[in-house]
């Protein structure tokens, strides 16, 4: 029986972001398809018990450069028939058949959103992934086109497999739960919500500028972990005198995401570039109207269930927020369109696509 190895090291992060969430849910969805091969999952640290069933778990701890040294050594000693890396970089030593996911090439579009070291590392590792792997998965057609244009990767080598979303997310309507979550994060009343890492690529400075133009009693909540150059964002908020109206409560517990999204006037996601844009689906699944950028992959993801604006147009962003605040009928229309849109995406569908790619690769001589 063939053996498919999967780098699952990013699937057990205690505070998962997009790529870690992708890794966890896709691996579990793949296992649920009962594939006709043995699956071996590689971890740097032991995962929680019962998280991954129907798979062999191999914990191979190592202090630094785990992928480049320890996983490479494992591949040299006991290589699987196929190695899949869903959320990181292919190790230098790998089997003849390999599959990687490349999530986005945002660093090429907005290099100032990264440190110099990050830019160099991302460019080298993504170029290596795209060229060294037998086949590549992309989260969107936008990323597939970027791989062809920037690195010369043939579209035939790239399969678009749209990620899913957490299908347990649903609208929360209980006023007591909504009020409790507002209290937990210090939100006094109605609010616009951004939920994600606070970093320049998310275009939050322009969101704050747009909010400053509104005549509104609502607050703007920028929820999520502090990222690269977050201090510049906080300085802008202070300079505009918005400390009491723009709230930055930090990391949001997973169990609070649905009520926080459900209670918002709108989810605002003006990112400069995204390889997919999972937060849009999470907002739509929770019945939250969405405003998002009209660039990169976001139109693919949002469909007609969002107001789309150019991410560099502050006035258009402010106008979209004002329209949604003042027009409950428009909010409800976007909510209904969002419910229809999210049906296009599921981890089960993503896993079926990935499984088909794996089967094809294993059949090759």
Domain at 51, CATH number: 3.40.50.2000
Expressed as residue numbers, the domain containing 117 is 3-164+346-363
Q: Give the Cα separation of 95 and 310 in Å (integer).
A: 43
Burial (CB count within 10 angstroms: exposed 0-12, middle 13-18, buried 19+), residue 263: buried
In this prediction, residue 111 carries a pLDDT of: 84
Q: Give the Cα separation of 291 and 247 in Å (integer).
A: 19
Q: Give the Cα separation of 182 and 179 in Å (integer).
A: 5
**Domain check: are 63 and 211 in the same one?**
no
**Domain check: are 227 and 160 in the same one?**
no
Q: Give the Cα separation of 326 and 183 in Å (integer).
A: 24
Domain count, the chain: 2
In this prediction, residue 340 carries a pLDDT of: 98
Residue 169 lies in a domain: no
**Domain check: are 278 and 148 in the same one?**
no
**Domain check: are 118 and 187 in the same one?**
no
Residue 212 lies in a domain: yes
In this prediction, residue 192 carries a pLDDT of: 98
262 neighbors 169 (Cβ within 8 angstroms): no
Alpha-carbon distance values, 352 to 30, 138, 143, 161, 282 (Å):
7, 15, 20, 9, 21
Residue 101 lies in a domain: yes
Partners of residue 43 on adjacent β-strands: 59
Query: For the ranges 110-119, 148-157, 217-226, 262-271, which has the lowest average pLDDT?
Result: 110-119
**Domain check: are 74 and 121 in the same one?**
yes
User: What is the DSSP track for 264-303?
Assistant: -SEEEE--S--SS-HHHHHHHHTT--EEEESSTTHHHHHT
Q: Give the Cα separation of 173 and 168 in Å (integer).
A: 15
Helices (H), the chain: 18-32, 72-77, 106-109, 116-132, 141-151, 175-184, 204-212, 230-239, 254-262, 278-285, 298-302, 314-326, 328-342, 347-363
Q: Give the Cα separation of 207 and 316 in Å (integer).
A: 11
**Domain check: are 203 and 142 in the same one?**
no
**Domain check: are 199 and 338 in the same one?**
yes
Give the residue-averaged pLDDT of 91-106: 96
Residue 185 lies in a domain: yes
Residue 170 lies in a domain: no
Burial (CB count within 10 angstroms: exposed 0-12, middle 13-18, buried 19+), residue 257: buried
Rg (CA), the chain: 21
- Of 120, 121, 64, the C-alpha closest to 88 is 121
Q: Give the Cα separation of 341 and 335 in Å (integer).
A: 10
Q: What is the pTM of this model?
A: 0.87
b (16+ CB within 10 A) / e for 217-237:
ebbbbbbbeebebbeebbebb
Give the residue-averaged pLDDT of 189-195: 97
**Does the pLDDT value for residue 268 go beyond 90?**
yes
194 neighbors 267 (Cβ within 8 angstroms): yes
**Domain check: are 108 and 236 in the same one?**
no
In this prediction, residue 112 carries a pLDDT of: 76
**Domain check: are 115 and 11 in the same one?**
yes
In this prediction, residue 365 carries a pLDDT of: 66
**Does the pLDDT value for residue 30 go beyond 90?**
yes
Residues with Cβ within 8 Å of 338's Cβ and at least 6 positions away in sequence, in order, are 283, 284, 285, 287, 288, 289, 290, 305, 306
**Domain check: are 187 and 322 in the same one?**
yes
Ramachandran angles phi, psi of 154, nearest 5°: -60, 135
144 neighbors 150 (Cβ within 8 angstroms): no
**Domain check: are 200 and 54 in the same one?**
no
Q: Give the Cα separation of 269 and 192 in Å (integer).
A: 10
**Domain check: are 146 and 182 in the same one?**
no
Give the residue-averaged pLDDT of 204-216: 97
**Does the pLDDT value for residue 258 go beyond 70?**
yes
Residue 50 lies in a domain: yes
Residues with Cβ within 8 Å of 336's Cβ and at least 6 positions away in sequence, in order, are none
In this prediction, residue 200 carries a pLDDT of: 87
């Amino acid at each position: 029986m063939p053996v498919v190895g999967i780098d699952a090291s990013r699937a057990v992060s205690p505070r998962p972001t997009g790529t870690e969430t992708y890794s966890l849910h896709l691996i579990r969805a793949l296992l649920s398809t009962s594939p006709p091969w043995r699956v071996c999952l590689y971890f740097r640290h032991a995962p929680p018990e019962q998280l991954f069933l129907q798979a062999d778990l191999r914990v191979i701890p190592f202090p630094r450069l785990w992928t480049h040294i320890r996983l490479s050594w494992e591949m040299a000693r006991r290589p699987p028939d196929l190695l899949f890396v869903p959320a990181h970089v292919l190790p230098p030593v790998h089997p003849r058949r390999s599959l990687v996911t490349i999530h986005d090439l945002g660093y090429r579009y907005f290099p100032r959103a990264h440190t110099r070291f990050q830019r160099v590392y991302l460019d080298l590792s993504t170029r290596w992934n795209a060229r060294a792997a037998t086949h590549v998965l992309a989260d969107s057609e936008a990323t597939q086109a970027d791989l062809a244009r920037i690195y010369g990767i043939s579209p035939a080598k790239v399969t678009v497999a749209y990620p899913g979303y957490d299908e347990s997310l649903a609208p929360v309507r209980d006023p007591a739960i909504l009020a409790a979550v507002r209290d937990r994060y210090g939100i006094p009343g109605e609010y616009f919500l951004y939920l994600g890492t606070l970093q320049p690529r998310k275009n939050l400075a322009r969101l704050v500028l747009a909010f400053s133009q509104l005549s509104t009693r609502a607050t703007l909540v920028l929820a999520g972990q502090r990222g690269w150059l977050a201090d510049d964002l906080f300085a802008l908020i202070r300079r505009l005198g918005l400390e009491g109206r723009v709230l930055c409560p930090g990391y949001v517990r997973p169990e609070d995401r649905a009520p926080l999204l459900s209670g918002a006037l709108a989810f605002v996601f003006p990112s400069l570039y995204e390889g997919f844009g999972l937060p849009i689906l999470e907002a739509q699944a929770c019945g939250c109207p969405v405003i998002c950028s009209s660039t990169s992959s976001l139109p693919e993801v949002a469909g007609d269930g969002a107001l789309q604006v150019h991410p560099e147009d502050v006035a258009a962003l402010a106008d979209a927020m004002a329209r949604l605040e003042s027009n409950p009928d428009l909010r409800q229309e976007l909510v209904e369109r969002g419910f229809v849109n999210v049906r296009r995406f599921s981890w089960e569908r993503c896993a079926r696509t990935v499984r088909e790619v794996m089967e094809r690769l294993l059949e090759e001589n």
